[in-house]
Amino acid sequence: MLSPEKELVTILRNSGVDLACTLPCDRIKGLIALLEEEYRKPPLHHIPLTREEEGVGICAGAALAGRRPAMFLQNSGIGNMLNALLSLTGFYQLPLALFISHRGVYKEKIAAQVPMGEKVPGILKGAGIPHSVISTREELRGIGKKLDALYKKGTIHAFLLSPAVWETGGECRVPVPLAAKGGPVCTLPSPPQEGRMRPRCTRYEVLETVAPLLEGSIVVCNLGVPSKELFHLGHRSSYFYMLGSMGMATPIGLGIALSTEREVVVIDGDGSLLMNPGSLATAAYCAPDNLTILAIDNSAYGSTGNQPTFSGTCVDLERIAQGFGIRRTCKAAGKRQLIAAIRGRHAGLRFIHCLAVPGNRDVPNIPLHHLDIRKQVQEFLAGASPAEK
Ligand SMILES: Cc1ncc(C[n+]2csc(CCOP(=O)(O)OP(=O)(O)O)c2C)c(N)n1
């Protein structure tokens, strides 16, 4: 029996879909890997995205040129693209097929997926975007007809892909392409190192190294596996674990840093920073003295299966931070450099570009309720100021 992923890609090809823009979700990693393989050669095209909104623009341009574009994303990404969908694709009546991994409603283990997952059908309805729920093979087979109609009419249609559909038999055997073993691009080695720095630690090892140095600081930790790993290494009430809202670690940390005298450390990721790089400009503009952004760059969307990000091929995050105006930047590739970077006396906003090798530690979900996480951090912030301690 064909895997559901293979059957869907066959339907796409039969309907003339020639452009696939993707941003990973764990539940569709097999589908994205298959698209990458099958859409490798022109006239077909696969484009990995940094933020869903840019995909809307790319697809609109492609549709203007007569192509049949489709996007593959998690339902949370709808929140990142609604304006572009309505004021560009919808306004100009361009065709766009949205294949949305529908989280939060079926065998969901991550509570933060629930609000967006439950509301997304209503959000689509409110936005006037028709949608179909796809949870069985039969529903999957009905996609072709709808695709033909939307490309003919120049409309948007959303297919909400329930995780149940991937359980309808036949395993997708395409291996998920993993981030390059060589790790992130480094075109700007910080003195005294010469030449290309090589990452040596996984994210877990990075967190293990820095955790003892984080006592007393408010820590905002990136969503997904980074937060779970940090919790596993030892919980502190000063840790704000993100359970959703990809791309928001630096903005959250900036907001806190501007509101307290305490040291604030943001643990961000390359995928998340690439989704919202403008947050570095805002941080540089505000430049709070007490903010450190520790970007753990494993050149991968680690939490969703280590799909490569552009930091493994063409982007140097330290240069990005510098270009946005952050003056104090450095690179760290091993434990000693990392400790020196974190301990280093400083005044002003810092950006530490920590090179890491891809890989996740197998750790359980965080057992805390999100409101308890908030309460603990609020109470920590409301406690004695560092000067009074
Ligand atoms: C808007 C949105 N799109 C996609 C996802 C799925 N997602 C969760 S974590 C993650 C990867 C984050 O990668 P990175 O910031 O590099 O951190 P890493 O997991 O590699 O440490 C993705 C794509 C999401 N939660 N929200």
pLDDT in tens, 333-352: 999 999 999 998 677 999 99
User: What tens digit of pLDDT does each residue of 246-278 get?
Assistant: 999 999 999 999 999 999 999 999 999 999 999
Domain identity same for 50 and 109: yes
C-alpha–C-alpha distance, residues 28 and 325, integer Å: 37
The residue whose CB lies within 8 Å of the most ligand 1 atoms, and thus the one to mutate among 301, 315, 353, is: 301
Q: Are residues 11 and 157 in the same domain?
A: yes
Which of these, 21, 291, 3, 344, lies nearest to 167 by C-alpha position?
A: 3
290 and 363 share a domain?
Answer: yes
On whether residue 109 sits in a domain, the answer given is yes
- Pick the atom of ligand 1 nearest to 358's CA: 20
Kindly state whether residues 208 and 163 are assigned to the same domain.
no
Q: Select from 247, 242, 252 the least CA-distant residue to 271.
A: 247
Q: Is 104 in the pocket of ligand 1 (CB under 6 A)?
A: no
Q: Based on the domain organization, do 148 and 267 belong to the same domain?
A: no
Same domain flag for 241 and 331: yes
Residue 158 falls inside a structural domain: yes
Nearest to 246 by CA among 280, 272, 274: 272
Cα 123 off chain centre by: 21
pLDDT digits (tens, 9 = 90+) for 197-215: 889 899 999 999 999 999 9
* Same domain? 212 vs 160: no
> Looking at ligand 1, which residue's alpha carbon is closest to its atom 16?
271
Confirm or reject: Cβ of 317 under 6 Å from ligand 1: no
Q: What is the pLDDT of residue 195?
A: 52
Instruction: Tell whether 299 is covered by a domain.
Output: yes
Expressed as residue numbers, the domain containing 362 is 203-388
User: Quick one: 362 and 220 in the same domain?
Assistant: yes
Ligand 1 in reach of 12 Cβ (< 6 A): no
Q: Tell me, what CATH number does 154's domain have? A: 3.40.50.970
Residue whose CA is closest, atom 24 of ligand 1?
Answer: 246
Q: What is the pLDDT of residue 189?
A: 53
Query: Do 301 and 371 belong together in one domain?
Result: yes
Q: Looking at the domain assignment, is residue 180 inside a domain? A: no
Domain count, the chain: 2
Based on the domain organization, do 147 and 229 belong to the same domain? no
Question: Which residue has tokens 């766009």?
Answer: 96
Give, using CA atoms, the residue closest to atom 26 of ligand 1: 246
Mean pLDDT score, 139-161:
98
**C-alpha 31 – ligand 1 centre gap (Å):** 17
Among protein residues, the one whose CA lies closest to atom 1 of ligand 1: 77
pLDDT of residue 194: 44
212 in the same domain as 90? no
